[in-house]
Amino acid sequence: MPDNLIFAMEVTLNGLMTGVMYALVALGFVLIYKASGIFNYSQGVMALFAAMTLVGIQEGRVPFSHLINAIFGTSLHNFAWNSVPALLAILLTVAVMVLFAWAVQKFVFGHLVGQEPIILFMATIGLAYFLEGMADLMWGSEIRTLDVGLPQGLNTVIDDTTYGWFGYGFFIDNLDIVASIVAALLVAGLVAFAQYTKQGRAMRAVADDHQAALSVGISLNFVWILVWSLAGFVALVAGIMWGSKSGVQFSLSLIALKALPVLMLGGFTSIPGAIVGGLIIGVGEALFEFAVGPMIGGATENWFAYVLALIFLVFRPQGLFGEKIIERV
Amino acid sequence: MKKILTLAVAGLMAAGPAMADLVFPSLSYRTGPYAAGGIPFADGYADYFTLLNERDGGIGGVMTSVPECETAYNTERGVECYESTKGEGALVYQPLSTGITYQLIPRVTADHIPLHSMGYGRTSAANGEVFEWVFNYPGNYWDSASVIVNYLLSQNDGSLEGQKIVLLYHNSAYGREPIRTLEVLSEQYGFELVQLPVDHPGQEQGNQWLTIRRERPDYVVMWGWGVMNQVAVQEAANIRFPMDHFIGNWWAGAEHDVMPAGDAADGYLSLNMNGVGDLPVFDEIREYVVDRGLAAGDGSNIGSVLYIRGMYAAMLAAEAAATAQEIHGVAQIDATMMRDGMEALNITEERMDELGMHGVGPAFQVSCANHGGPGMGRIQQWNAADQQWVTVTDFIAPDDSVTQPLIDEDSAAFAAENDITPRDCSN
């Protein structure tokens, strides 16, 4: 088999894995947009905030210690316990994200019911900046190492197997394999939750028609808190996966930029669309960089993802899985 | 109403530096994707001037002030910061960003305020005959590229013939700076140069490292900053690239660049323009600054690579200010006098010892024609077990026969584009 074909296969596999990582971020956007029609600009910052909170709890750090020390002249940094088991830290972080969801609903969107979508969108921009500042104030700006026990590095089984087949071992990162499994479980869990639980059915009812859901006694307030909580949980998962690669730092919030073409392609209202969109973007940009990148100077991933999404938009404006908008005049 | 106005005016006066201070604005970035590098540098810069105030009563009897302006490593905000602080009597700017530096060069030239882009910025600014107001001592990007190649030559019995070197660079003005030098050096020494750009911020490098794995280069040289560095070190570990063949430039060799990868980062090499290790001046900073509650940060950054570099930058600015005071015979200097002090700066081993900074940098002298300094750098290696950098070489000199013609060519082009007649520095 020609070398370039073998390399292209490796690139495709890695593109699929990268696509899963994009889809993890896109899922949070879809959840909130589907249930409330809000495009949540702060989803990337939520991933950052969740990851910083997780590391902060794991390391037993005192939140707002910089502020407390500056005001009271103390030198607080850590609690007496210096480390918290990963699972417990994750559970506590989920609790923080639920609290965050409640606060967002109570203090922001509860007051904006019935407003134009652009107003709600702008509120999420404000929320993003507020949350970024809050994360900085709570946990500081230093890069933190995230270690929840996930494997990283070359998968030797795949390397050895493909070497046996092609005389060239494929590189697949163990973390990407874990991310794929987690994403699959997450999607299955979300679908099962939406289909088979009372709260999930309420969520779907609100997504279909707010007024009708309200008329049958479903609490919009509760459903929106639930949705923001789920988006917070998805943000935590995305934050763990991305943070394991680079350490937890402020650039994590920029991963949201990679979710936008995924959403444009997959549709803003479809969970399977987020996954398929992520895979197409991941593979498309990787193959383009492999085949065309060297001829035009490389580093094509960022812009090519948007070009790919725009090409799809020309033919299907609602995205691959989005709901077709029909307005009668 | 009158009372309120009086209070407001008093408040404004208290908020800004007193006009009698020597003002060294700090265009810092404590937020955003590059904060991890910006914070220790800004802390070191501010703490050194606080030390001078507390220990010596300032410079030549005049107190210093370091008004900070947050740029978030954003070029537009950097320019806004410059415009909003230049009226405060600014003596010299240190923006810690090549993008901001490029934007400020025409402005400082028009405003007659020195700009010190220490080891970054526009490389050809080393030519003081063209760039009257811009300095980049003690070294520039082309120097550092040459130093890295000289180090590789020393590791390969003086020959890189037939070897393959990948340049993994931040796809920005900063990252593209060394390309010309490395292209010239690749022709001169017969190595193959493979260029791999990484887009801002550098969170995704999967494709680049797959290429590196396929290309099987002998060395990877990295021109990174921010998250790009941490991801690159992790990706190198993932593909099992030998860390002692992976060399970052001097902006890709801080503690936070390697710590997220844990033990896998052990052996990673980087260039450094300043020394590492315990310096006597740290004790004084702790005594006069941290213990008095005057530190810019919480004191935890003291001794880190970028804290030392920020402190080193402040020391060079303070020494230049003292030189300017001496030249002009006045304590209250202005920006033009500061420029004279920077051009007459003479950093000796003895002076660094006196300041408690033995070996923090090479001894060097600035001149009217040479704003670039000696361009020397050391190679350091990360010891993951001890979580510290270990210096593995002495200061290595760049190959001026390669870099100087490039500097002359580029600065001449800049002079022609901007209608600048080069100064005569022969007197």
How confident is the model over B196-214, as pLDDT tens digits? 999 988 988 999 999 999 9
Per-residue pLDDT at B76: 96
Q: How far apart are CA A203 and CA A210, in angstroms?
A: 10
pLDDT tier at B1, thresholds 50, 70, 90: very low
Per-residue pLDDT at B3: 52
CB–CB contact A153 B227 (8 Å): no
pLDDT tier at A63, thresholds 50, 70, 90: very high
Domain around A134: 3-315
Choose the mutation target among B204, B223, B292 for the interface with A, i.e. most A CBs under 10 Å: B204
Find out whether B77 and B291 touch, Cβ atoms under 8 Å. Answer: no
With a pLDDT cut of 70, the percent of chain A lying above it is 98
Instruction: With a cut of 80, say whether residue A328 has pLDDT above it.
Output: no
Q: How many CB atoms lie within 10 A of CB A163?
A: 13
Work out how many domains chain A is built from and give that number: 1
B18-139+278-375 with B141-272+377-398: one CATH topology?
A: yes
Nearest to B159 by CA among B170, B171, B150: B150
Per-residue pLDDT at A67: 87
Among candidates B199, B227, B260 on the partner chain, residue whose Cβ is nearest the Cβ of A299:
B199
Instruction: With a cut of 70, say whether residue A96 has pLDDT above it.
Output: yes
Q: Which range among A75-79, A217-221, B230-234, B411-415 shows the weakest confidence by mean pLDDT? A: A75-79
Instruction: With a cut of 90, say whether residue B298 has pLDDT above it.
Output: no
Instruction: With a cut of 70, say whether residue B10 has pLDDT above it.
Output: no
Mean pLDDT of A112-128: 92
Phi, psi of A244 (to 5 degrees): -65, -30
Task: Give the residues across from B389 on adjacent strands.
Answer: B382
Name the architecture of domain B18-139+278-375.
3-Layer(aba) Sandwich (3.40)
Mean pLDDT of B378-406: 95
Amino acid letter, residue B35: A
Mean pLDDT in chain B? 93
Q: How far apart are CA A54 and CA B237, in angstroms?
A: 24
Question: CA B259, A245, B251 angle in degrees (round to 5)?
Answer: 50
With a pLDDT cut of 90, the percent of chain B lying above it is 88
Domain harbouring A51, CATH code: 1.10.3470
pLDDT tier at A269, thresholds 50, 70, 90: confident
Answer yes or no: is A327 within a domain. no
Per-residue pLDDT at B13: 47
Answer yes or no: is A325 within a domain. no
Instruction: With a cut of 70, say whether residue B20 has pLDDT above it.
Output: no
Whether chain B has a CB inside 8 Å of the CB on A166: the answer is: no
Higher-confidence residue of B162 and A271: namely: B162
pLDDT tier at B14, thresholds 50, 70, 90: very low
Per-residue pLDDT at B412: 96
Choose the mutation target among A22, A69, A180, A251 for the interface with B, i.e. most B CBs under 10 Å: A251
Answer yes or no: is A163 within a domain. yes
Residues in chain B: 427
Per-residue pLDDT at A130: 95
Distance, first Cα to last Cα, chain A: 58
Whether chain B has a CB inside 8 Å of the CB on A286: the answer is: yes
Nearest to A91 by CA among A241, A253, A233: A233
| Chain A stretch 61-100, residues whose beta carbon is closer than 8 A to a beta carbon of chain B | 66, 69, 73, 75, 77
CB–CB contact A154 B239 (8 Å): yes
Per-residue pLDDT at B285: 97
CATH of domain B141-272+377-398: 3.40.50.2300
Per-residue pLDDT at B329: 97
Per-residue pLDDT at A92: 97
CB–CB contact A69 B39 (8 Å): no
pLDDT tier at A34, thresholds 50, 70, 90: confident
pTM of the model: 0.90
Instruction: With a cut of 80, say whether residue A47 has pLDDT above it.
Output: yes
Which chain B residues touch A141 with a CB distance below 8 Å? 30-31, 35-36, 39
Mean pLDDT of A230-252: 92
CB–CB contact A14 B201 (8 Å): no
Q: Report the complex ipTM.
A: 0.89
Mean pLDDT of A298-309: 90
CB–CB contact B207 A301 (8 Å): yes
Mean pLDDT of A171-175: 95
- Nearest chain A residue (CA) to B225: A251
Q: How far apart are CA A17 and CA B396, in angstroms?
A: 43
pLDDT tier at B12, thresholds 50, 70, 90: very low
Instruction: With a cut of 90, say whether residue A261 has pLDDT above it.
Output: yes
Per-residue pLDDT at A241: 93
Per-residue pLDDT at B267: 98
Answer yes or no: is A8 within a domain. yes
CB–CB contact A142 B33 (8 Å): no
Mean pLDDT in chain A? 91
Per-residue pLDDT at B21: 92
CA distances from B25 to A108, B69, B87 (A): 38, 8, 11
pLDDT tier at A325, thresholds 50, 70, 90: low
Mean pLDDT of B320-344: 97
pLDDT tier at A254, thresholds 50, 70, 90: confident
Q: Can you list the alpha helix ranges (DSSP code H) found in B138-261?
A: 141-155, 173-176, 179-189, 206-215, 227-238, 255-258
CB–CB contact B298 A297 (8 Å): no
Instruction: With a cut of 60, say whether residue B16 has pLDDT above it.
Output: no
Find out whether B51 and B76 touch, Cβ atoms under 8 Å. Answer: no
With a pLDDT cut of 90, the percent of chain A lying above it is 64
Highest mean predicted confidence (pLDDT) among A18-22, A77-81, A149-153, B56-60: B56-60
Provide DSSP, B339-381.
Answer: HHHHHT-EE-HHHHHHTT-TTSS--EE--SSB-S----BEEEE
Per-residue pLDDT at B158: 96
Which chain B residues touch A136 with a CB distance below 8 Å? 31
Mean pLDDT of A275-290: 94
Higher-confidence residue of B330 and A323: namely: B330
With a pLDDT cut of 70, the percent of chain B lying above it is 95
Per-residue pLDDT at A73: 79
Instruction: With a cut of 70, say whether residue B89 has pLDDT above it.
Output: yes
- A17-37 in b/e form (b: 16+ CB < 10 A) is bbbbbbbbbbbbbbbbbbbbe
Q: How far apart are CA B230 and CA A143, in angstroms?
A: 9
Per-residue pLDDT at A66: 83
Amino acid letter, residue A121: F
Find out whether B347 and B364 touch, Cβ atoms under 8 Å. Answer: yes
Give the number of A-B residue pairs with CB atoms closer than 8 Å. 110
